[in-house]
Amino acid sequence: MKNLKKNIRKIRLVIKGSVANLLFKLLHRRGFNTNESLLICGSIRSGSTWLAELISELDGHIQVFEPLHPEYVPMARRTIPTRNMYVPKEESWLAGVNFFEKIMSGKLVNFWTASQMPINKIFNAKRLVVKVVRANLMLDWITHNVDILPPALVIRHPCAIIASQLNKGWPVSKKHLLENRYLDNYPDIRKKCAKLSEPEELAALAWCIRYHAPFSAKKPYGFVVICYERLVRNGEQELQKLFNAWNLPLNEQVLKRLNVPSDTVENDSQIVSGKDPLEGWKSKLSDQQVDNILAVLTIFKLDFYGKDLEPDYEKLYAFGDL
């Protein structure tokens, strides 16, 4: 039954995305201004889709969904050949510039990236909201080499993300992670992580690499950090700093959406069942699993997350300060 529902959902996505793609290309052949398009980055299950849906509530704003997905976007597969690809800000990468300019101008749209576009909003689309979960390790490069507004970087408690990953059975490759080019800058961290073996430890390693890279960029950051926990607890305040950076009006239309679950939320999620959306991992992970995850965070000095539901915000925002 679960697989049947999944297949039905996929069929609906393909049909909806195909119709939206054809209409989008018909109406917006000239594309959009890259320096007006909005980029939202994050990790899987971090709340980036929810944030994209919030922003897309604004009139004239429409979402481009996961254009870096290698399975559904051939140009992404050719341009970004490896998972969690790291690109330092000073690197000359003309193929990357061309790729992201196509994305941010709306000239790299297909059934997959158009799958979250409401048909009625395509007609009056004026600005793109591009949502990706595969760009964290190149975020500093993007902000220095692509002419766009400051991207949003969504961060969420790793225990919440990892609990979801383990539940879905998503595999993590230790070899792939340890060979990541980013860790060439941190041989001591790589050496310590070589001992990791438990599934939750490897998932924590992936989380740490994806956030240590952008958080190690020189301050002031060229992106805006959006904390999922604060978005849940005090959404208006958290959204306001992002809307200020983008010079957008934070209106009631967006704020009402704060109480609506994302389209990607599972039926058994905390928020659908009316429970605190921050507490789910507490019952899904064992004490040992939590300890293992937090131990990996300590290796990377990303220990602003702990056993509390919310991070130590002071430590989070001070990370990297000398």
Give the pLDDT confidence of 111-156 residue by residue, as tens digits. 999 999 999 999 999 999 999 999 999 999 999 999 999 999 999 9
Counting Cα atoms < 13 Å in the Cβ hemisphere of 292 gives: 19
pLDDT at 31: 95
> How much is the pTM?
0.93
pLDDT at 172: 87
- In the chain, which residues have pLDDT < 70? 1-6, 262-274, 321-322
- Closest-CA residue to 263 (of 40, 53, 110, 61): 53
Instruction: For residues 40 and 35, give the distance between their C-alpha atoms in angstroms, rounded to a whole number.
Output: 14
pLDDT at 187: 97
pLDDT at 168: 86
Instruction: For residues 271 and 263, give the distance between their C-alpha atoms in angstroms, rounded to a whole number.
Output: 12
Single-letter residue type at 101: E
- Encode pLDDT of 24-41 as tens digits: 999 999 999 999 999 999
pLDDT at 130: 98
Torsion over CA of 57, 63, 69 and 72, rounded to 10 degrees? 120
Architecture of the domain made up of 16-318 = 3-Layer(aba) Sandwich (3.40)
pLDDT at 2: 59
pLDDT at 93: 98
Torsion over CA of 203, 206, 212 and 213, rounded to 10 degrees? -170
